[in-house]
């Protein structure tokens, strides 16, 4: 462990190098998973052909979708980046969860139609927002700090609509819609909780680094870059689709 830390430390002292590497990885990630974030062929067949209550399969699909939802995961990284105790993590993640659960359930149940490209562009904006906010951008450039909990809840609503648009493509049977939708939402939360554990462990490891300030600037700058890339990607899809 000491050996690996000694190998990592020289890189951490070079935030610009790390930022370049992180941005390159983000470009690679977006190009690799832009289509994967949708619905794969096997899941598409199941959603198209399923009948009746399928609680466990929808649970699995919800968890799987969260793990492939890199935009949601990037937002989570930014959300908890400066949260140092479990109570604050619980409060903010619960606020985010409440937001996306409401619009996921309402969006599919009442068939609230929202353009998927625009919603995903706003989700990209949420990633940019958290990186910008974490670096104190609002105070430095605009002289004020938005209410973080309200912002997290509002962005949670858009993240939920993003999840809803994926399911609305399949016109799920009305007689089993609610239980299957609840199962999907539970799966999303289980996937989010599992990812959250990994993110918290990673952040706790990084916080022990002597040059954590460099990691802070690098990571949140990379989040801003990722948010802009995702926004550009989705807006391109909106205009050319």
Residue-range domain boundaries for the chain: 72-240
- Reading the block at residue 79, the tokens are 């959300």
pLDDT in tens, 196-241: 999 999 888 888 888 777 889 999 999 999 999 999 999 999 999 7
- CA 60, CA 190: separation in Å to the nearest integer? 9
Q: Which of 185, 186, 169 is nearest to 103 (CA)?
A: 185
Let me know: does 170 contact 50? Beta carbons within 8 Å. Answer: no
Which pLDDT belongs to residue 41? 74
Residue 139 per-residue DSSP state: I
The more confidently predicted of residues 89 and 215 is 89
Let me know: does 164 contact 115? Beta carbons within 8 Å. Answer: no
Which pLDDT belongs to residue 3? 44
At CA 153, angle to CA 142 and CA 104, rounded to 5?
140
Let me know: does 163 contact 100? Beta carbons within 8 Å. Answer: yes
Q: Is 124 exposed, middle or buried (0-12, 13-18, 19+ CB in 10 A)?
A: buried
The more confidently predicted of residues 228 and 25 is 228
Q: Nearest 10 degrees: CA dihedral of 198, 34, 30, 131? A: -60
Percentage of the residues of the chain whose pLDDT score is greater than 90: 60
Helices (H), the chain: 2-12, 15-33, 41-49, 55-68, 70-80, 86-109, 116-134, 137, 148-168, 177-207, 212-240
The more confidently predicted of residues 89 and 51 is 89
Q: Is 144 exposed, middle or buried (0-12, 13-18, 19+ CB in 10 A)?
A: exposed
| Lowest mean pLDDT segment, chosen from 16-30, 32-46, 61-75, 162-176 | 16-30
Asked if residue 90 has pLDDT above 60, the reply is yes
Q: Model's pTM, two decimal places?
A: 0.84
Let me know: does 93 contact 73? Beta carbons within 8 Å. Answer: no
Which of 18-27, 46-55, 108-117 ranks highest by mean pLDDT? 108-117
């Amino acid at each position: 462990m000491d050996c690996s830390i000694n190998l990592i430390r020289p890189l951490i002292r070079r935030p610009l190098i790390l930022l370049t590497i992180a941005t390159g990885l983000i470009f690679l990630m977006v190009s690799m998973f832009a289509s994967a974030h949708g619905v794969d062929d096997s899941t598409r067949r199941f959603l198209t052909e399923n009948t009746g209550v399928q609680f466990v399969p929808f649970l699995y699909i919800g968890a799987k979708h969260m793990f492939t939802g890199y935009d949601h995961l990037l937002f989570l990284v930014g959300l908890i980046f400066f949260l140092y105790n479990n109570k604050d993590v619980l409060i903010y993640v619960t606020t985010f969860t409440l937001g996306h659960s409401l619009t996921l359930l309402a969006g599919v149940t009442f068939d609230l139609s929202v353009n998927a490209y625009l919603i995903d562009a706003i989700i990209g904006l949420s990633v940019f927002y958290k990186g910008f906010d974490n670096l104190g951008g609002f105070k430095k450039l605009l002289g004020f700090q938005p209410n973080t909990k309200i912002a997290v809840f509002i962005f949670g609503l858009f993240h939920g609509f993003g999840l809803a648009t994926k399911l609305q493509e399949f016109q799920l049977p009305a007689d089993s819609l609610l239980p299957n939708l609840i199962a999907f939402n539970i799966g999303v939360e289980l996937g989010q909780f599992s990812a959250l554990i990994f993110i918290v462990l990673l952040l706790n490891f990084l916080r022990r680094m002597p040059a954590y300030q460099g990691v802070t600037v690098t990571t949140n700058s990379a989040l801003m870059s990722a948010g802009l890339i995702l926004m550009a990607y989705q807006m391109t899809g909106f205009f050319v689709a």
